[in-house]
Amino acid sequence: MMKNLFSLEGETAVVTGALGKLGPVWIEALLDAGASVFAIDLPATRLSEPFRKLESLHGKMRLTLGRADVTDRESMEIACRACIEHYGVPGILVNNAGIDSPPGSNGAGHRLEQIPFAAGREILEVNTLGMFLTTQIFGTPMLSTGKGSIINIGSLYAGVSPDGRFYDHIESDPPFLKPPMYGASKAAVVNLTRYLATLWASRGVRVNTLSPGGVLGGQDSAFKRKFCERVPMGRMAVAEDLFGPLLFLASSASAYLTGTELVVDGGFTAW
């Protein structure tokens, strides 16, 4: 029994934001554990190389890409129907779609007092309201089966403020600011997780948050040095560090766990 505790054989999983940085990480873990995956991303988003590799390795029978917008109910309802027609009612939902703005992502920035209202609204609409809408649409069929695991992807910054000193070496005018609505949106995700978990616990659907710390992926050397000096384990996370936590939350290994935030940060928030 113990060796099968993390098995997802026969399960269907849904992953939003499938073509982003972390989407393929979650998809790879789920596929390797035996699940079939219905992946979702925006119609205009180009196929990423990591996603192509997973598609090539596992085949389109086990990995299907649907095109939809997490802020658009009609497109998400169409995606949900396609998922059910192709694989059946999903038992796992990974709410991964989100907006972040790392340094240099768009070549522009703002001082705090100049940040446009629309920029903050877009982050909240995707990261928080989009997660809620997706849960409404894909969680409802789960309730009809009496089982399911919903995993909302949070962030280190759901619980602490970004340290501006990580970025002060970057030449930028105005100086780079982590978008203030990013952390706020992820804090809201953690609270919504608790709300949904308590509402649906008696109906067999568990809801938890998985909040990664800094994940290695193209950051400049000065940032990596400063960030790693702040982490008790002395390094940033890599993809393999996230596989186990995701599978724990997705599988029967966490059958009595709901409404919690699992922070995978190398000890960052312990200091």
Q: What are 125-141's pLDDT values in tens digits?
A: 999 999 999 999 999 99
Structural domains of the chain, count: 1
pTM of the model: 0.95
According to DSSP, residue 266 is labeled T
pLDDT over 90, % of the chain: 89
Q: Residue 265: inside a domain, yes or no? A: no
221 given a catalytic annotation: no
Q: Residue 270: inside a domain, yes or no? A: no
Residue 67 identity (one-letter amino acid): R
Q: Residue 140: inside a domain, yes or no? A: yes
Catalytic one of 178, 186, 251, 254 = 186
Q: Residue 269: inside a domain, yes or no? A: no
226 given a catalytic annotation: no
pLDDT at 105: 53
Residues of the chain with pLDDT under 50: none
155 given a catalytic annotation: yes
Tell me, what CATH number does 107's domain have?
A: 3.40.50.720
pLDDT at 93: 99
What DSSP element (H or E) covers 30?
helix 23-32
Q: Residue 18: inside a domain, yes or no? A: yes
Range of the domain at 171: 2-259
Q: Residue 226: inside a domain, yes or no? A: yes
pLDDT at 162: 93
Q: Residue 15: inside a domain, yes or no? A: yes
Q: In terms of residues, how long is the chain? A: 271
The dihedral region occupied by 229, where left means phi > 0, alpha psi between -120 and 50, and beta the remainder, is alpha
pLDDT at 107: 52
Catalytic one of 36, 149, 182, 211 = 182
Sheet holding 261-264, edge to edge: 63-67, 36-41, 12-16, 92-95, 148-153, 205-212, 261-264
Catalytic one of 36, 149, 155, 185 = 155
Q: Residue 148: inside a domain, yes or no? A: yes
| CB-count burial class (<10 Å; 0-12, 13-18, 19+) for 253 | middle
